[in-house]
Amino acid sequence: MTPPTLPVTPVVLQRVGVYCGGNDGARPAYVALARTLGQTLARRGIGLVYGGGRTGLMGAMADAALAAGGEVIGVMPHGLVEREVAHRELTHLHIVDSMHERKAMMASLADAFITLPGGIGTLEEFFETWTWAQLGVHRKPMGLLDVDGFWEPLLSMLAYMDSEGFLRGNPRAWLLHEHHVERLLVALEAFVAPEVRTWARLSET
């Protein structure tokens, strides 16, 4: 049986899910970008959904959004909360049982996703959410927010994977890439999802 085609719906940014590092990184520009994103989301009345941490880019972004009067929702497995990395001053902190439950809840709460610089955990969250789009689990846009060319090596690798025939169904159509926060938010709002068939549901991933 042919899987159903999901309908095209406009993107209304009420909340944005953000993946980013729990460390500051080697360059001050990374923390500055995280703060700018948090401030901009709050100024535009867009809620922030993130991993709930208080350190690194995660903490800098959350603190900036809170200071600007924004809604900040964290989602964190209880094992990490017990290690005292949870941000205790958020609008709301959801405590879940597993990393998969964390990602699933973030995906359900967010209307779009932005990935800032980070490590392997950030990349894992980014790639799983991107895979869900390709499988038709969601139709939400995704953006890489760049600074100092951080994402250029990844984009080069993706281009190489495509040229070698390993990217099927034009998954790059889901992915936006910008160096400026406002331009990325405008691009997310203007995003029109490509036609995709539902090959899996979130409960099946």
Strand partners for 47:
15
Whole-structure pTM over 0.75, yes or no? yes
CATH number for the region 15-193 comes to 3.40.50.450
Q: Look at residue 189 and tell me whether its pLDDT is greater than 70.
A: yes
DSSP state of 183: H
- Joined together, the tokens standing for residue 47 give 């809620």
* Cα 143 to Cα 1, 95, 172, distances in angstroms: 33, 26, 11
Q: Is 55 helix (H, G, I), strand (E, B) or coil?
A: coil
The pLDDT score that the predictor gives to residue 5 is: 47
The pLDDT score that the predictor gives to residue 119 is: 97
Q: Look at residue 96 and tell me whether its pLDDT is greater than 70.
A: yes
The pLDDT score that the predictor gives to residue 64 is: 98
Instruction: Tell me the domain boundaries of the chain.
Output: 15-193
14-70 pLDDT, tens digit each: 999 999 999 999 999 999 999 999 999 999 999 999 999 999 999 999 999 999 999
109-167 pLDDT, tens digit each: 999 999 999 999 999 999 999 988 888 888 899 999 999 999 999 999 999 998 899 88
- Which residue, chain included where needed, has tokens 């995709």? 196
Task: Give the residue from 89, 93, 55, 58 showing the smallest Cα distance to 76.
Answer: 93
Q: At what angle do helices 56-67 and 28-43 cross, to 10 degrees?
A: 30
Q: Chain-centre distance of CA 108, in angstroms?
A: 12
Q: Look at residue 84 and tell me whether its pLDDT is greater than 70.
A: no
